Amino acid sequence: MQSHTRGHLVYAASGVLAVHTEHGTSVVPANRVAWTPAEFQHYHRAHGDTDIRIVFLAPSLARLVPDHPAVFLASGLAREVLLALTGPRDEEDTAPGYSRSARSRLLRVLVDELREAHEQPLQLPEPRDDRLRAIARMLHEKPADNATLAELGKAIGASTRTLSRLFRDELGMTFYEWRTQLRIYHALVLLADGHDVIQTAYACGWASPSGFITAFTHIIGMTPGRYRTSRQGSPRP
């Protein structure tokens, strides 16, 4: 676990980042930025060839953004400010020599951009109930498993009605919404590791690539093919 006296923003210039807190897992593909307030215990896990950028916010700026972990869609300006503040990733280069006042102005621009952005989490809430935990383990191990909730319930000794209620009350979504989020998470990991769209669609349980493309685009905001290409060509300032 990691904790800091200041809250921080994490951006994956390439690859996919997962931020784990007590509330669950936030998946942060390269068109989003994650915010974690100081008081939240957390850890990060990177997938693929990941270029992670971290920016800490002093309390005076942290109070302007949410007091809970959040994931925002990264505007073009927010992305460029994040890259500028964290410097180049070429070992032969040196980080930009911004003065303290210049860094303060850039940080304020970044916070202003995030305040205007919509929270767009790809969230996998952490189940508390043992029955939901059992289902989560099974589907994390085999995201392509197309078993119905009734079939999964039979395997763990719980009724469909009970499980549906638990998903709604504990996780705030239906079983099918939760499973789609989980599959998109696994799809992002596979795409970051270099798998093509068709391989990824079948590996994550879609009956056809077109169904996968529709679901991915709805949640991530771009097609998986475009996302995969943009990650391969992601600049490393």
Domains of the chain: 7-122 (2.60.120.810), 127-232 (1.10.10.60)
Cβ contact 19:28 at 8 Å: yes
Cβ contact 51:10 at 8 Å: no
Tell me what pLDDT residue 164 has. Answer: 96
Give this prediction's pTM. 0.76
How far, in Å, CA of 230 to CA of 206, rounded?
A: 23
Tell me what pLDDT residue 233 has. Answer: 43
Taking the chain (237 residues) in consecutive chunks of 10 residues, what is each chunk's mean pLDDT? 67 84 80 87 81 90 89 90 79 60 93 87 83 94 95 96 95 93 91 91 96 93 84 46
Tell me what pLDDT residue 94 has. Answer: 45
Cβ contact 167:132 at 8 Å: yes
Tell me what pLDDT residue 222 has. Answer: 86
Tell me what pLDDT residue 122 has. Answer: 74
How far, in Å, CA of 168 to CA of 158, rounded?
A: 15
Pull the structure tokens for residue 149.
């909730």
Tell me what pLDDT residue 61 has. Answer: 93
How far, in Å, CA of 64 to CA of 66, rounded?
A: 7
Cβ contact 204:182 at 8 Å: no
Tell me what pLDDT residue 88 has. Answer: 67
Cβ contact 167:175 at 8 Å: yes
Q: What is the residue whose two structure tokens read 């006296």? A: 5
Tell me what pLDDT residue 12 has. Answer: 85
